[in-house]
Amino acid sequence: MAASDTETMQTTYLRRHGPLWISILAGIAAWEIAGRSTSAAFMVPFSETLVRLWQLTVRGEFLTQLLDSAELFLTGFILALIVGAPLGLLLARVRVLRIGIEPYIMILYATPMVALIPFILSMMGFGFAPKVLVVFLFTVFPVLYNTVEGARSIKPELIEVAKSFRSSEWSLWREVMLPYTLPYMMTGVRQAIGRALVGMIAAEFFLSSTGLGQLIMGASQDFDTAGVFASILVIGVIGVGLTRLGLVIEQHFAHWRQ
């Protein structure tokens, strides 16, 4: 009985995840074959990419750049949260302010922020601050936009009830507005994670070259194709991981949504 149970579990596991593993293996095999059959300047096989990645890790180059990027990412991201979330709630509370500012937030949300990088470069130069500003600009609008979106959907009755119970402004924010808006805010956070990553790499490409952006730029300038692939692999894995994290955060709060 127990044996057949585990057997069926195994077969359902295989049926569900079999194609996934087959396709991952097929992808790696295709990469390996393509890499071996073309010139090394064009593409390198998966195995060589891993070897190069190992070399970069052992030399410590990789960890330093990773930490450098992480510092930039976190500083910009946290600043955007500190500014975006309270501002979004404030806009929710003060209706005139919201109606007034909302279209401009929309416009900025739709504007490709990369276009502002040359201005930031020529006004602020090559320090850490301009790069943080880039990450901030990429990040703040999704947070702000979604927070306002959530705050718009707060039912007026909720606030009216709270008011008729003589709730103070502070507890109104804490007990009604924040819990109601949080799931939307988290959708903003999920979108912001992806954008912050783009902003981070863009800042490292086009402002002073540091971090993971520098790793890949340097490799490309040296025609070190293996290095380029190794960096892309790493950044790709980080991207997938952070996106997953964003989804988990969003899902965690999603059931609060009505």
CB of 122 vs other proteins, minimal distance in Å? 5
Contact characters 9-38, other proteins, x per CB under 8 A: -------x--xx-xxx-xx-----------
Q: Which residues make Cβ contacts (< 8 Å) with residue 171, sequence separation at least 6?
A: 162
Among 173, 206, 209, 253, binds other proteins (CB under 8 A): 206
Does 99 help bind other proteins (rule: CB under 8 A)?
A: yes
Check the CA dihedral 88-93-98-101 and report its sign.
negative
CA-CA distances (angstroms) from residue 185 to 48, 87, 105?
Answer: 42, 12, 15
Of 120, 45, 209, the closest CA to residue 220 belongs to 209
CB of 5 vs other proteins, minimal distance in Å? 24
Among 11, 111, 168, 171, binds other proteins (CB under 8 A): 111
What does the DSSP 8-state code read for residue 115? Answer: G
Kindly give the residue spans of alpha helices, DSSP state H, lying in 165-224: 169-172, 178-206, 211-221
Looking at this protein, which amino acid is placed at residue 54? W
* Binding residues vs other proteins (CB under 8 A): 16, 19-20, 22-24, 26-27, 41-42, 96-97, 99-104, 106-108, 110-112, 114-119, 121-123, 146, 149, 153, 184, 187, 190-191, 194, 197-198, 200-202, 205-206, 216-217, 219-220, 223, 225, 228-229, 231-232, 235-236, 239-240, 242-243, 247, 250-251
